[in-house]
Amino acid sequence: MRKVAIVGVPLDLGGNRRGVDMGPSAVRVAGITDAIRRLGFDVRDTGDVDVPLPEEAEIGDAKKKYAEDIEDVCQDVCERVVREMKDGRVPITLGGDHSIAMGSIAGVATHFRAESRRIGLIWFDAHGDMNTPESTNTGNVHGMPLAHVLGMGDPLLAGVGGFSPKVHYSNAVLFGVRDLDEREKKLIGDSGVRVFTMKDLDRRGVSTTMEEAIEIASRGTAGIHVSFDMDAIDPSVARGVGTPRKGGLTYRESHLCLEIISDSQKMVGMDLVEVNPILDTRNATAELGVELILSALGKQIY
pLDDT in tens, 77-104: 999 999 999 999 999 999 999 999 999 9
Helices (H), 114-205: 145-149, 155-158, 182-191, 198-204
Average pLDDT, the chain: 97
Q: What does the pLDDT average to over 113-129?
A: 98
Burial of 189 (0-12, 13-18, 19+ CB in 10 A): exposed
Q: What is the pLDDT of residues 235-271, one digit of tens each?
A: 999 999 989 999 999 999 999 999 999 999 999 999 9
What are the angstrom distances between the C-alpha of 210 and each of 34, 176, 185, 214, 278? Answer: 29, 10, 22, 6, 31
* Residue numbers annotated as active site: 98, 125, 127, 129, 142, 229, 231, 274
pLDDT tens figures, 176-214: 999 998 999 999 999 999 999 999 999 999 999 999 999
Architecture of the structural domain at 3-296: 3-Layer(aba) Sandwich (3.40)
Contact assessment for residue 70 and residue 159, using Cβ atoms and an 8 Å cutoff: no
Q: Where are the beta strands (DSSP E) in the chain?
A: 3-9, 42-48, 89-95, 120-124, 172-177, 194-197, 224-229, 267-273
Instruction: Give 259: exposed, middle or buried? Use CB within 10 Å, 0-12, 13-18, 19+.
Output: buried
Separation of alpha carbons 143 and 266, rounded Å: 27
Torsion over CA: 129, 132, 133, 137 (sign)? negative
Q: What is the DSSP letter of 53?
A: -
Amino acid at 119: I
> What percent of the chain is helix, strand and coil (3-state, nearest 5)?
45, 20, 35
For the entire predicted model, the pTM comes to 0.98
Give residue limits of the domains in the chain. 3-296
Confidence check: pLDDT of 302 > 70: no
Beta bridge partners of 121: 172, 225
166 pLDDT above the threshold of 70: yes
Distance CA 58, CA 56 (A): 7
Q: Give the pLDDT confidence score for residue 300 in this predicted structure.
A: 87
Whether residue 205 contacts residue 250, with contact meaning beta carbons closer than 8 Å, is answered with no
- Whether pLDDT at 16 is above 90: no
